[in-house]
Amino acid sequence: MTRIRDFIYLDVEKLYSLYSQVFEGVADQIIQSFVDSSTHKNVEGGSIFKGGDLETEIVEISRRTENKFLFDHMYTRLEEKLKPSIIDEKQITSLNFQDITSKALLVKVFGTARIMDFERLRNFTEDYDYLTEALTYISNFSSGELVNHRNEISRLEFLISKIKDKNQKTRSERELTEQENAYWRKFNELKKKLNLYIDHDLLEYISTVTQKFYFDNFELMISSSEDLKIGYRAILDKKWLRLQPNLFQSLFGSNTSSELVLIGQITYFPSKKVELIKSNKEDKVDIIQSMRDSYESFIEVFREFEKITSESAKRMDLVMWPIAIYRETELANPEKSEVK
């Protein structure tokens, strides 16, 4: 059975590194063939090398030519060759994960994934107030409730600017204040119905912690079954995504609906020292756990924004990532078409 891999992420530098060690000279032959092909197609008199080492130039060439399939083919061969050395996550439990993952070359994980784009999340927290007001206003525009309040506020503001009488101006200003308060009461009521409310202090704290600890990371989290209670958090280099991060988020959302396969190296896991800290200083472990849980809860609030901006209440819109568009032709069977 032929398996087709539709890559959304492929680290080419790591691919070259592992491939060259596993297949030795074969990698050099493939790369050289790739360079010769690209050089031949380059404009006459030009040079494909404008500085930098060979590996960097190869990566740049791959992005500019149709030979991108080379990496997919190389990876398929590599995984097949390393198959006996790749640990399936089904073999890993909460009791043996330290022993297994510390010795494993690569670990293979299956499951739906939660996407955490911290650059987008940070921008989201900084603009949260304005976004909340904008989406609440747009979502309720047809009802006219907020529009009527806004129009009345504008009318009173214009009127106050023209009034000369001090007493009349004071009365109009009082009426304006009442109208503004009524607007925000209605706004907060409608915002809560959209599940968009979040504590302002929490927003500021999340923004600060993201800048200091998560930076602009793009992460993918796959959790095993509830019984095992193990999560696999992959920190991705954005340049190896096959899609731009914003497009990736638009297609997959915060949680992928289809199962993904994640293959990588385990770089960190809780050690025995962490277990000792847990037994002696339980409060510190609780702080770390609750902080991560708070982030996951906030991602769910983030998902409400995605629903409002991408899902229709009138129909079911299925988002598609067009992998290919083609015409299918059925070839005649030579045996049946043979003249007897």
Is-contact 144 292, C-beta < 8 A? no
Is-contact 175 153, C-beta < 8 A? no
Predicted local distance difference test score (pLDDT) of residue 66: 44
Give 239-246 contacts, CB < 8 A, sequence gap 24+.
240/9, 240/10, 240/11, 240/12, 241/8, 241/9, 242/7, 242/8, 242/9, 242/10, 243/8, 243/321, 245/117, 245/119, 245/120, 245/218, 246/120
Encoded tokens for 96? 């043996």
Q: DSSP H helical segments within the chain, as ranges? A: 12-23, 25-41, 54-64, 69-82, 97-103, 118-126, 128-139, 145-162, 166-193, 200-209, 245-252, 272-280, 282-310, 334-337
- Which stretch of DSSP H or E encloses residue 111? strand 106-111
Predicted local distance difference test score (pLDDT) of residue 180: 94
Encoded tokens for 215? 């930076």
Tokens 């904008």 correspond to what residue?
134
Is-contact 320 258, C-beta < 8 A? no
* pTM score of the predicted model: 0.65
Predicted local distance difference test score (pLDDT) of residue 294: 74
- Residue 260: name the closest of 92, 113, 115, 116 by CA: 113
Report the relative pairing of strands 231-236 and 113-117 from DSSP bridges: unpaired
Encoded tokens for 162? 């023209």
Amino acid at 240: W
Predicted local distance difference test score (pLDDT) of residue 156: 93
Residues 6+ apart with CB under 8 A from 140: 146, 190
Encoded tokens for 45? 């008199």
Predicted local distance difference test score (pLDDT) of residue 103: 83
Amino acid at 321: W
Encoded tokens for 179? 């109208």
Laid out side by side, the sheet with 86-88 consists of 86-88, 106-111, 260-264
Series of mean pLDDT values for 10-residue runs along the chain (340 residues)? 76 86 69 56 46 56 56 85 90 82 85 87 87 89 89 93 91 94 92 84 85 86 69 87 84 82 83 45 53 72 67 53 45 56
Is-contact 77 58, C-beta < 8 A? no
Residues 6+ apart with CB under 8 A from 28: 20
Rounded to whole angstroms, the Cα distance separating 120 from 218 reads 9
Distances in Å between the Cα of 170 and the Cα atoms of 160, 175, 181 are: 9, 9, 17
Domain ranges of the chain: 1-89, 123-200
Predicted local distance difference test score (pLDDT) of residue 54: 59
Going by the DSSP 8-state scheme, the letter that residue 68 receives in this structure is G
State the Cα torsion 62-66-68-73 to the nearest 10°.
-140
Tokens 């990876």 correspond to what residue?
75
Nearest-Å Rg of the Cα atoms of the chain is 29
Predicted local distance difference test score (pLDDT) of residue 197: 78
Amino acid at 271: S
